[in-house]
Every structure is written in structure tokens, then in C-alpha cells.
Chain A
Amino acid sequence: MENVKQTEKKKKFKKVGAKGQWHWMGIAGFTYLCLWVAFLYFRLGWAFVKSIQDMSDFLLSGSSATAWPNKFSFAAYAKVLTVIKFDIRGYDGSVHTAYMFEMTLNAIIFSLINTFVNLIVTMCVAYVTARHDFWFNKVLVGFFYFQMLVPIIGTMSSSLKILKNLHLFDTWLGFVIQRFNFFGGLYFLIYRDMFKKLADSYADAAKIDGAGNWQVMIQICFPLVKSIFMMGAMTGLISSWNNYSAPLLYLPSHPTVSYGLFIFNNAKSGGDNAEFAYMPYKLAGFMLLLLPTTLFYLLFKEKMLGATSTGGLKE
């Protein structure tokens, strides 16, 4: 028994002392990364500290960015959540005031459409091109590679023009249609590769039991790539939540939280949001925007960083 323990100790020692563990590359990388992490936290920490500085204290300090707060208060957070608003002029000329509740709701709808419409279409097209033998597959895959390799710049104006002409500009339906494709990112190739690697025996067994093509796809094959789907969904939801430029361009009268805070950041001392022109308010708004994605990341970190395996047998 003691021998086994000694061997395990030796193994542990070997693992730590093995080549590559404390090589100069490791030391240099470690130092760089430590500084990098320290600076990342310094930025976030500084922003948080200033966001909880009491407003009168901030003004008394001469609006200083370096002064340590004498008085802390979460009033800025409460105000940002309840008072923040701005007027939006729709494409049809109508004006309405958007509050935080509406922006949150819009952000949720936007994130769901932006993530799932594209992801599901991508998955379906990847599935049929990988598992059903049709000559048209070559056209689809060719299209994908073409758009990936051949950069066509400046088509945003034409996209906006067609959306406006079809009366789809600034509508949720228009945005759903825009996202109804399998382009963008490498997910199409990843899914296709995974569906190709899935053993035929699953689909064959299901077909013998009387399953149709839809059932094989939805009930048999999709669950086998669930981990990659989850990873795509999670990263997609996070990036959609943070996206401010797409709503700004295509859904100007449906502001999301990110878009709203971008506009809010431009608040000057003379406008409607005059009192929000001060740093603690703006930083409180930023911290609130970071909160959901940070919590989401902390909760699903393992899945996001490690979900790269498929179910089933590899042929």
C-alpha cells in the first residue's frame, strides 16, 4: 500500500516537474497573463468603484477619476434602471419613449431571433447536405465557401434599401427573414462535419422502426450534436445581448439594452438625460449591461469552454 502511495507521489512530482511545466515559455506566458488579468480586473474594478460613488461625493471631488469615494451608494443603479429613457423616431415618423423595460424585452427578442433562427437553419442545412445525397449539396456548400472567401464590401446600403422597399425595415419579421440563412461563422462546417461522422446505424435503426426523415433528423440526429448546439446557443445569446450595431441599423425603433446604453452614453449635460451625463451613472449603466452575460458565463462556463464532443459512435 505504501509502495502504491509512493509511486503516486512520484507520478505527481513527475507531472509538475515535467518538461514544459516551468520552461521559460511558461514563465514568460505566466507573467504576461498575470499582468493581463490584473489589468482586466483593474479596469472593471475601477468602473465598479466609480459607479457606486455617491453623486454628491463625486461632484465634491471635482469629478475626479482618481479620487477614492468617501461615500458609497447604489442610487445610480436604481436611477439607471427606473429613470433611463429616450425618445425614438420610427421609420414611419412616429415618436415614442423607450424605457428600460422595453429595452430589456427587445434585447431578449433580438437575442432569441438572432441566435436561434440562424442556428436552427444552419443545423438543418448542414444535416441535409451531410446525410442526404443530392447534387444540389455541392451548390449549397459552394455558396458557403464563396461567401466566406470572396469578400463583397459595401452591400449594407443595398440590404437596407431592399428591406425598406419590401416594408420589412425596422420590423421583427424583417429581422427574422434576414437571419434565415446558414451563412456567418464556421458553424455550418462544424455541424456538417459532425453529421457526416455520425454512424448510419442510428438512422437505419429508426427507419426500420418506421421513423420518417423528419423524425430521424429531429429525434435521432439533432440530440447527438446537442453539446455543440448548446455551445453555439450560449455564445450566440451572449454576443446578441452585447450587439448594439445591428439594432441600430436594422431595428432603430426597437432599442435593445446595449443600443440604449450606447445612446445613453452620448448623453450630454444639456439634453433630456442631462443628469445622466456624469460618469457614475454611465458606469452604473455599463455594469448593469455586463451583469447578465457575466452571470450566464459563470453558470455555464464549463459547457461553453468544453462542449466539443459528440454522442454516438464514430464510423
Chain B
Amino acid sequence: MSNYQASKAEGVATQATRPPIYPKRKRSGDARRARIKETIFYMCIVVPPMIQLSIFYIYVNFDAFFMSFQKYNAATNTFSWVGFSNYGTAIADLFVKGSWLNTSLIQTLLGYVLSYVWWPLDIIFAYYVYKKMPGWSFFKGMLYLPTVLSGMVLGLINKYLFDMLIPEIALSWFNVIVDPLIYSGGWRTWWFMFWWNGIVGIGGGLLLYCTMMNRIPETLTEYARLEGVGPLREFVTLTLPLIWGTVAINLVGGVADIFAVGGGTWFMYYGTGSTNPTSVGYYIYCLTLDSDGFAGYPMASACGMFFTFIAIPLTFFVRWITDKMDPKVQY
């Protein structure tokens, strides 16, 4: 009995010195303190970017909207209200055949619609790499290379090729006079660049599509192969539907960018001096860049807002279409 009591007392003593296996149940005060600490931590992370967004996204968007109804007076350094005057000017310019804005809109919309001729190429070549077709590893590295190389440098090297090398080859080897393809400008240059960018500009979505394709369970593709499905059928009936979510995001994002892109390419070739070839993005870019102080900003904002009103419903329309086509596959 005494032994039992001694061992019990020893056990109690050991328990007191050893740390408990399970942590003590926290009191409600501890939980509240932990939540307060977590909230402070959360605020520290979230508040600075939110302040930034409030100024550089929310305020900027509202300011651009209000500025589109204003006019800048350089003498007094103030903005004054002019109603829909800027919109009126933009719309009037839009309907003047051959005007800068008119050409910009036509070339932008035509470029967007025709770009669907080329967009499958990215997916097809990602499929080529995914299916490990001949030379896939080498081509994967090569297709990604233009993303690494400066677009400006490649563009300007192209300019030398099209403006100097090709006309020189045509004249000396074939005795044919070819005008410099970029320097001459106009619709001819626009069409040339459209074909050129389509044929050569592949590889941009390679990594993204490859990653999505690699997530497709191998059992599915194995099963398809056992059923005698060839690569083309596998691509159309299995791979494409399974990566459709990503494709749809890119399609919707593409609509959102219609009136914003294109500025860089033409700026690189012509600075701010081209009225044809051009694009809406380039037109607004030039208005901002060529602005004397704040003078050009209201018109740039008005054009931006006008095309935003067109782009928003278009974006939601394309999203609605892609949602309709979405097979909603989970894997």
C-alpha cells in the first residue's frame, strides 16, 4: 500500500515537472488576443496596397472619367467643365473617313477579328510540346526565347530586314523594286505586319497552356489511346475541352485589351508620328505623350472612356459566350 502511494506521489511529481503532452485549453481571452494579433497582421499586409489602389486605381479611374468632361487652361493652370464637348469631338472625328481616329478604330477592330485566325497556333504548339512530338524539348526552349529577347530589339531588327534587306535582295537578285515594307506605311504595312505577327508571333502562351495540359490525368489520355484515338482527335475532343477554362480567360482578357494594345508596336516604328498604320491604343498613347503639359489629357481621357463604354459590354458578351461553351470539367 505504501509502495502504491509512493509510486502515485512520484507520478504526480513527474507530471508536474514534465511539460503536458497536449497544450492547455486556451482561455477565451487568449483566443480573442490571438484574433486581435491576426487582425493587426492582416491590416499591416492589406492596408498599404489598398491605399495605393484607392489613389492609383479608384481615384485615377474617377479622375479620368471627370477629366473627360473638362478642358485644360494652360494660362491659369486649371481644368474647366466643358460637358460632352470632348466626346463630341471624338465621335465627329470617328466618322470622318480616313481621319486618324477613324483609321485607328477600323484597324483595331479588323485586327481583333482577324486575330482569331492565329490564336489557335499557340495552343497547337503547346500541344505539340505536351505530346512530346519530335524535338519538343528543343522547340520549347526556342519558342520561349522571343519572350526573353527584347521585343523592341527584335522589332527594330525586323525593320532593317523589311526596309533594307528585302528590298535590296528583291532588286539585286530578282530585279524587282520593292518599297521599304515598314517605312512606306499605310494599309500595305498594316496587312504585312498582320501576316508577319501571326505567322512568327507564336509561343507567348506556350508555358501557360503546357502547364494546363500537363495537369490532364494521364489515365484519360491512356484510355483514349487504347480506344484508338489519334493525336488530332485527342486534341479536339479531350485536350481542348479540358483546358477550355484557361483558353476562355485568355479570350475574355483579349477583348478587354482590344482598345488598349497596339501602342507599343507602332510607337517603336514611327514614334508618335503615324496616322496609318495605327490603333486606338496607339492613338490614345500619342495624345498623352504629345500632350503639352496637361492640355492633351482631357481628350485622351474622353477617347479612353468612350472606348471603355464599348469594351465593357463586349467583354461581358464574350464571357457569356465562353461560359456557354465551358464544359465545366473538374479534374
Q: Write the residues of chain A forming the contact surface with B, with a CB cutoff of 8 angstroms.
A: 19-23, 25-26, 29-30, 33-34, 36-37, 39-40, 43-44, 46-47, 64-66, 121, 124-125, 127-128, 132, 134, 136, 140, 143, 147-162, 177-178, 180-183, 186, 208, 212-214, 235, 238, 241-242, 244-245, 249, 258, 261-262, 265-266, 279, 282-283, 286, 289-290, 293-294, 296-297, 301, 304-305, 308
Contacts and interface: CB of A to CB of B under 8 A. Distances in A.
A249 B289 contact: yes
Contact of B53 (A132, A157, A181, A289): A181
A158 B319 CA distance: 28
A266 B270 CA distance: 10
Interface stretch (B5-13, B94-102, B126-134, B323-331): B126-134
A308 B213 CA distance: 13
Contacts of B55: 162
Given A242-B152, A242-B153, 19 more contacts: A25-B128, A37-B139, A65-B165, A66-B169, A128-B45, A148-B256, A150-B315, A151-B257, A152-B304, A153-B259, A153-B308, A154-B300, A157-B300, A160-B297, A162-B59, A212-B37, A249-B289, A258-B150, A286-B157
Contacts of B50: 140
**Interface size, B (range):** 35 or more
Interface stretch (B112-120, B140-148, B185-193): B140-148
A28 B267 CA distance: 35
A214 B67 CA distance: 42
B133 A65 contact: no
Given A156-B300, A161-B297, A151 B256 contact: yes
A261 B152 CA distance: 9
Contact of A152 (B53, B230, B308): B308
A282 B267 CA distance: 18
B134 A152 contact: no
B207 interface: yes
Contacts of A22: 134
Given A66-B165, A151-B311, A125 B49 contact: yes
B103 to A, nearest CB: 18
A162 B56 contact: yes
B246 to A, nearest CB: 10
A262 B125 CA distance: 32
A30 B60 contact: no
B121 to A, nearest CB: 9
B272 to A, nearest CB: 11
Interface of B: 23, 37-39, 41-42, 45-46, 48-50, 52-53, 55-57, 59-61, 63-64, 67-68, 124-125, 128, 131, 133-135, 139-154, 156-158, 160-161, 164-165, 168-169, 172, 200, 202, 207, 211, 225, 230-232, 234-235, 249, 252-253, 255-260, 263-264, 267-268, 271, 280-281, 284-285, 287-289, 291, 294, 296-297, 300-305, 307-308, 311-312, 315-316, 319
> Which 4 pairs of residues, A with B, have the shortest CB-CB distance?
A154-B304, A151-B256, A157-B297, A242-B150
A66 B284 contact: no
Nearest to B211: A308
A282 B271 CA distance: 17
A238 B148 contact: yes
B38 A161 contact: no
Given A43-B154, A66-B165, A305 B49 contact: no
B256 A156 contact: no
A36 to B, nearest CB: 7
Majority secondary structure, B binding face: helix
A156 B157 CA distance: 29
Contact of A177 (B56, B146, B280): B56
A161 B67 contact: yes
Given A26-B128, A181-B52, A33 B304 contact: no
> In the complex, which of the residues A37, A156, A245 has the most CB atoms of chain B within 10 Å of its own CB atom?
A156
Nearest to A48: B157
A36 B291 CA distance: 41
A178 B307 contact: no
Nearest to B316: A149
B231 A25 contact: yes
B230 A19 contact: yes
Query: Which interface residue of A125, A152, A212, A214 has the most chain B CB atoms within 10 A?
Result: A152
A149 B11 CA distance: 66
22 contacts: A20-B231, A23-B230, A25-B133, A33-B142, A46-B165, A47-B157, A127-B45, A132-B38, A151-B260, A151-B311, A153-B259, A155-B64, A160-B297, A181-B49, A181-B52, A213-B37, A235-B147, A245-B267, A283-B160, A290-B150, A290-B153, A297-B148
A156 B152 contact: no
B63 A20 contact: no
A44 B150 CA distance: 12
Contacts of A34: 135
Listed residue (B148, B235, B258, B291) with the most chain A CB atoms within 10 angstroms of its CB: B148
B168 A65 contact: yes
A60 to B, nearest CB: 16
A233 B30 CA distance: 39
Nearest to B294: A161
A214 B157 contact: no
B141 A33 contact: no
B135 A40 contact: no
A140 B128 CA distance: 38
A22 B128 CA distance: 11
Contacts of B259: 151, 153
